[in-house]
Amino acid sequence: MLDQIFGVPFTLVSFLIALSVVVFVHEFGHFFVARRCGVRCETFSVGFGPELFGYTDKHGTRWKFSIIPLGGYVRMFGEAETMHAIEGGSDKESDGDQKEATEPQVRELTEDEKKVSFKHKTLRQKSAIVFAGPAVNLIFAIAVFWAMFMMVGRPVTEPVIGLVAEGSAAEEAGLMPEDRILSIDGSDIDRFEDIQTIVQLGNGAPMDLTIERDSTQLNINLTPKPIDGMDPFGNAQRQFRIGIGASGQTRLIDLGPVSALGVAFGQTYEIIEGTAIALGQIISGERGTEDLGGPIKIAKYSGQAAKTGIAGFILFMAILSINLGIINLFPVPLLDGGHLLFYAIEAVRGRPLSDHAQEWGMRFGLALVVALMVFVTWNDIVNF
C-alpha cells in the first residue's frame, strides 16, 4: 500500500535517511576520536559536493549536508603536510621579484598549528582516528540489537522439521517431520534460523546432519539444491535449500541487559562472519556476483525495510552499518583500511612510504573503488 501511494519518493526518502544515518555514525567515529586527540576538525559533511545547509559550531567546525548523498567526510586541519600563504612584495622590488613574491609560498606549520594538526599526531593516534569510523559503525549495530533484544526479547524458532518438500534434498536423505536437527557439520543448532544461515553459507556443499528422532540420534548426509527463490523482501535470488520447513514451535527468550548485550555481540559477529564468507566465495569464484549491490539495491532495500515498520527499518540500518564498517576496513588505498595499511607499513619500516608511493597507492585505490561502484551499479540495473 505504501509503495502504491508513495512509490519512488518513499523509497528515495528511506534510502537517504538510512544512508545519512550510517554515514553520520561512521564519520562521527572519526570526528569524536580526532577531537579527543586534539585535532581541529574543520568540516563534518554528510554527502559530497555543494552544501545544502549547515551551521558552524563554537569550535569552528562546519557541520553540513551536501548535495551528493553517497558518503561523507571529516576534514581535519593539517591533513596536508604544509600550508600555503600568499605574500605580496614591496614597491621597491623588481618586477621579477614581485612576480615571485605574489605566487603561493609554502611554509611550515607553526608550533601552535602542529598541536592541532592531524599530520603531526603520533602514529598510534592517527591509526585510532582512522579505525574509529568502522569501529563506531559496529558499535552502533550492537547498540541497536541490544535495545531490541532488551525491549522485545529474542524470538527463537525451534529447530524441528515441520514439513519436507517433495523431491528435495531432505526427502532424498530421509528426513521426516518432527525430526529435531541437533547439529550441522559439527556446529550445534539452537534455532531454525541457524539452519538457514549454515545452508546458505555452505553454497551447495555437502553437509552432515545429526538429528534426533524418537529419542534416537541419527547421522544423515545431504547436499542442498539450488533454488530460484525470493529473499525476505520478495526479490528474486538464487538460494541453496535442503527442502524443509519449520514446525512453527517458537519461544521468546526474555533477556536482561547483560545477556541481551552478549546476544547483540553474537548477532553482530554472525553478520560479519556471514559477509566475510560470502565475499570470500565471490572472490574465489565459488559464488556468483549477482548478490553484490550498489546504491540502487540499497535504495530498494531501504524502501522495503521501511514498509515493514520502524523496527524493521532500524534493524536494516544496523545491518547496513555493519557492512559499511566492514567495507571500509578493506586494505584498499582511499578506504580506512588502506590508510591503516600505510600506517602498519610505517610502523614496520620506521618511516612512512614516500609521497610518490602513497600518491600512486591512492590513484590505484580510487580506480579500484570507481570500478567497483560502476560494476555494482550496473549489477543493480541488470537485476532491477
Cell of 22: 550510517
List Cβ<8 Å contacts ≥24 apart for 60-64. 61/31
Contact by Cβ (8 Å): 115, 78: no
pLDDT in the model for residue 239: 75
pLDDT at 289 over 50: yes
Question: What are the strands, taking DSSP E only, across 1-124?
Answer: 41-56, 62-76, 83-85, 105-107
Distance between CA atoms of residues 335 and 345, nearest Å:
16
- Top mean pLDDT of 92-96, 219-223, 361-365 is at 219-223
pLDDT at 328 over 70: yes
Per-residue confidence at 143, pLDDT binned at 50, 70, 90?
Answer: very high
Q: What is the mean pLDDT of residues 158-177?
A: 86
* DSSP codes, 273-316: HHHHHHHHHHHHTSS-GGG---HHHHHHHHHHHHHT-HHHHHHH
pLDDT at 101 over 70: no
Residue type, 275: T
CA angle 74/279/222 to nearest 5° reads 150
Total Cβ atoms within 10 A of residue 328:
21
Q: What is the mean pLDDT of residues 263-274?
A: 87
pLDDT at 141 over 90: yes
pLDDT at 169 over 80: yes
Per-residue confidence at 65, pLDDT binned at 50, 70, 90?
Answer: very high
pLDDT tens, 77-90? 877 543 333 233 33
pLDDT at 144 over 60: yes
If one compares 144 and 277, the residue with the highest pLDDT of the two is 144
pLDDT in the model for residue 96: 45
pLDDT in the model for residue 382: 61
Q: Please name each of the domains of the chain with its CATH number.
A: 1-79+118-151+255-384 (no CATH), 154-253 (2.30.42.10)
Q: What is the mean pLDDT of residues 3-9?
A: 59
pLDDT at 91 over 60: no
Q: Which of 27, 51, 79, 273 is catalytic?
A: 27
CA distances (Å), origin 64, targets 17, 21, 39, 56: 15, 14, 19, 9
pLDDT at 291 over 70: no
pLDDT in the model for residue 103: 46
If one compares 337 and 277, the residue with the highest pLDDT of the two is 337
Q: Which of these ranges, 25-29, 37-41, 159-163, 238-242, has the smallest mean pLDDT? A: 238-242
79 is catalytic: no
Query: Helix (H, G, I), strand (E, B), or coil: what is residue 225?
Result: strand
pLDDT in the model for residue 87: 30
pTM over 0.75: no
Per-residue confidence at 1, pLDDT binned at 50, 70, 90?
Answer: very low
pLDDT in the model for residue 161: 87
CA angle 260/261/267 to nearest 5° reads 85
pLDDT tens, 28-42? 999 999 999 999 999
pLDDT in the model for residue 233: 53
352: left (phi over 0), alpha (psi -120 to 50) or beta: beta
pLDDT in the model for residue 55: 92
Q: What percent of the chain has pLDDT over 90?
A: 24
Distance between CA atoms of residues 272 and 115, nearest Å:
37
Q: What are residue 167's phi and psi, to 5 degrees? A: 75, 5
pLDDT at 179 over 70: yes
- Top mean pLDDT of 25-39, 231-245, 253-267 is at 25-39
Residue found under cell 567546525: 61
Give CA 264 to chain center in angstroms.
16
pLDDT at 104 over 70: no
Give CA 52 to chain center in angstroms.
26
Q: What percent of the chain has pLDDT over 70?
A: 83
Q: Work out the mean pLDDT of the chain and round it to a whole number.
A: 80
